[in-house]
Amino acid sequence: MFKKFKKKKEIENTHKLYSVEDFLLKENDIQAINRILNDFRCDFEPDPSDSKTATDLGMMMYTLPLFIELKYYYNNDFCMAMAQSMIISKKKYFDRRMKSYYFENAVIRVASIWEYLFIILNEYLQTGLIAGKDIREQLIEAGCHKIDFVPSGKGFEVKYVPIDSEERKKIEPELIKKYKLFKIAPKRSNNSFLKAVKKQYAMKDRIQLIFDIYNCEEVKAITNLRNEIVHRRPLSARFSLSPSDIMPGMAVSINPEGWYDFASFPQMIEKNILSVRDAIKLLYEVIFYNDIPNSKENENEKFEALEVRCRTCEKDILINSFSADYLIEMGHPLICPTCKQSNTTIINKREVHERYFFSNLNEYSDFLVKYWESNAD
């Protein structure tokens, strides 16, 4: 079945072979792109002197390289594609196919950067979701092997031996169920990451704001457009499959002016730049300030730490309230883990996140055990 649109104006000839020169930008366009780049680029640097900082140093160092990669992807690949598409949308010397080349690049990069952002958040929250089928298959395959220590020379050699087929039939389905794939999507039913976060954490604050931004109308619109481009038809298409106007089903659309209206594209792109930039800022704050919600089981619990100043080494430290209360009840001054001196003063008590509290509890408890062992004599 075919549906036909009336001719409104002279048809652009986009069914031809183009040269590289057709897609080149003019000097004044390059200058305009550079101006837009300066407007939208961002350092994504929180204030390191913020008194509310309670960083999980281990997790921050683990995810920081990924965030740095995201930061430069945003400031270069992403912003460049956005700026080019915004300037080109206004140029009459670019026809529909030439504009579509730059527009598709912009659309796909918007969808991609959201994936990269949520992969980092997934790692920071430690949901257990696996970002990639290759990694998942590797984990499943490793679980279907056992480790043997085979004599070799004066020692042993480690070998991975496949388990027998009957045992694999029992174990493999359990591993497939255990190692779930990371997925994001505007539809909640397809968003395994959102499901995992809601199941494990009491959603609030910055993480909730990131999800709210992702679910806003402009992001949904460009994500749906990306799916349309990747799975059904290019932006430049004059002939394409589309919903039928006559009855439910598909039809071949014949539209000399194309199936997508470019008029609203620059505005949609600008809104998405701002949405992505705000989400990345929030992500860095989550990492830098360790702004992790409480787990579901501790949703209504309050976790606190004491701000302590060491007068010997002049360091300001945080000590979880459990360890601090224990030492105070014993009549023992709080001990600085940096210089191991007890010349300390309590400055304040403040609320911290659950994960930071237990991380601090483990680290400070280990320190106290070693401190008392070394001073036992």
d(CA 275, CA 219) in angstroms, rounded, equals 8
Please check whether residue 192 is in contact with residue 182, taking contact to mean a CB–CB distance below 8 angstroms. yes
Element (H, E) at 307: strand 303-310
β-pairing verdict for 239-243 and 155-162: unpaired
What was the pLDDT predicted at 50?
A: 54
Cβ neighbors of 148 (< 8 A, separation 6 or more) are 158, 159, 160, 161
What was the pLDDT predicted at 2?
A: 47
What was the pLDDT predicted at 28?
A: 92
Q: Is 84 helix (H, G, I), strand (E, B) or coil?
A: helix
Residues of the chain with pLDDT under 50: 1-2, 5, 51
pLDDT tens-digit readout, 51-70:
455 566 777 788 889 999 99
pLDDT tens-digit readout, 277-307:
999 999 998 888 888 888 889 988 999 999 9
d(CA 47, CA 203) in angstroms, rounded, equals 24
β-pairing verdict for 250-254 and 2-4: parallel
DSSP summary character for residue 201: B
Sign of the CA dihedral 214, 274, 104, 5? Answer: positive
What was the pLDDT predicted at 49?
A: 53
List the chain domain ranges: 2-131+184-288, 136-178, 302-374
What was the pLDDT predicted at 55?
A: 61
**pTM, rounded to two decimals:** 0.82
